[in-house]
Amino acid sequence: MMDLLYKSTRSNETAVTASQAILKGLSADGGLFVPSGIPALDVDMETLAGMSYQETAYEVMKLFFTDFTEEELKSCIAKAYDEKFDTTEIAPIKKEDGAYYLELFHGATIAFKDMALSILPHLLTTSAKKNNVKNEIVILTATSGDTGKAALAGFADVPGTRIVVFYPKDGVSPIQEKQMVTQKGDNTFVVGINGNFDDAQTGVKNIFGDKELEAQMADAGFQFSSANSINIGRLVPQVVYYVYAYAKLYASKEIDKSEKINVVVPTGNFGNILAAYYAKNMGVPIDKLICASNDNKVLYDFFTTGTYDRNREFILTTSPSMDILISSNLERLIYKIAGEDADKNLEMMAALGKEGKYHITEEMKAQLSDFCGNYATEEETAQEIASVYQKTGYIMDTHTAVASCVFKKYEAEKKDNNKSVIASTASPYKFTRSVMDAIDMKYDAMTDFELVDELCKISKVKVPGAIEEIRTAPVLHDTVVEVNEMKDIVKKFLNI
């Protein structure tokens, strides 16, 4: 098999191998790495239907990570998808209230980010060995709540790595914050910033692009990489669960062979729905990709109008992982619909940086027919949690509720009879107060951990280990900085 190479969305520089793209995280020109083509699945659905999650992961990832040996890739997969997950299926599907909820939150930190961040440390350290990298890898990441803890858990005490996570101090749930600030590991560092997620993400990108700092890092024996979904080593593992979900629905006779399904994804940074788009392009019979937004509906407006405009109020919602106005992964899709024209893409990204918006052409807009968007208000999100619970007893988190609500709106509007898979991206235990308040405001008087126990009682779902372990865990990280201090705090952590 020929090596599949990766190129930048912002220039026509020499393409790199998968392991080099994983190591770099972000291209030197500020662009994102994209594969030179989307490979087609080379196993049929009958075969996939009988495979475990780990076997499916290998069949998908071998097509993207072509410079990894079979032994290397299978070793990474085995280390990632093990007893850290509390269910043997890794990503079980629950049929509730007319949809299939793909539960992606059974990993160590009870959010979908575990699906990719369990394997990324192993892909990264393997990539370092393959490329004879002697430097220590410093993972630098901004989080809107879930990536941070999942990355910290994945990289804690991994030899040859350090990890720095920035999060918006007042922009994550209490459980999310407690999960991060109690993180153990001598190589971990968690920093709150006085700003929102977009500030954190922009700050991280600026640090990546700082050539002077890069030279100082190299002199001290360090180099940066990323655990955000801008890293292709994050994105490709997410493709796996869409392939797996379709195969399992076929295996259980919920769908016929080649029957098309829709996929509904609660969307912030656009990586999770882009992974579904890649799965579709690999040959999975997916029809519509339904992009679900909360009140920060920049993506809904983009798919409706063809204009991406972040010049608007940033709204803090009960689904904080979607409180994003700069959806970084959308750049990969823009590059694709611009005919893989790096100059055209760069022009639009420059406009986004300078004016806060860009417009796509009618020709580009015509290529977005696979996608449609809608959004759910805070009130609608709470109503959806309560409604599904009252009807079925099933309790979902706020992000999943946004997707579930948008799915109902789409069905009512389009009269589409395709079966739909909803990406259920976090455990309700991660957003306990918002979930319990949606069910009944009487719960609001309880403490966070009283709510956890009450949720256990009414959902009949065991409290996850990720929650139990932070009940009494001491705070180990209490640093908070201004946005303009981010670079200095990184240098302080690394003693450079």
User: Catalytic amino acids?
Assistant: 113
| Residue 468 CB coordination number (10 Å) | 14
Tell me the C-alpha distance between 359 and 317, whole Å: 27
Is 446 in contact with 88 (CB distance < 8 Å)? no
Cα 121 from Cα 135, distance rounded (Å): 15
Vertex 478: Cα angle to 472 and 482 (nearest 5): 150
Contact 250, 49 (CB under 8 A): yes
For residue 77, what are the contacts with CB-CB under 8 A and spacing of at least 6? Answer: 54, 57, 58, 61, 119
User: What is the C-alpha separation between 447 and 371, in angstroms, rounded?
Assistant: 41
Do β-strands 371-375 and 161-168 pair in parallel, antiparallel, or remain unpaired? unpaired
Nearest Cα residue to 31 out of 308, 346, 271: 346
Q: Please name which of 156, 329, 151 lies closest in space to residue 236, comparing C-alpha atoms.
A: 329
Rounded CA-CA distance 414/391 in Å is: 24
Q: How far apart are CA 146 and CA 179, in angstroms?
A: 9
Nearest to 399 by CA among 420, 426, 419, 373: 426
CB distance 432 to 452 below 8 Å? yes
Q: Between the CA of residue 113 and those of 154, 321, 424, 455, 462, what are the distances in Å?
A: 10, 11, 11, 23, 21
Cα distance between the two ends of the chain: 43
Q: Is the dihedral of CA 203, 209, 215, 217 positive or negative?
A: positive
Distance (Å, rounded) from C-alpha 106 to C-alpha 122? 19
CA distance 4 to 38: 9
Question: Which sign, positive or negative, has the C-alpha torsion 60, 65, 67, 68?
Answer: negative
| Amino acid at site 409 | K
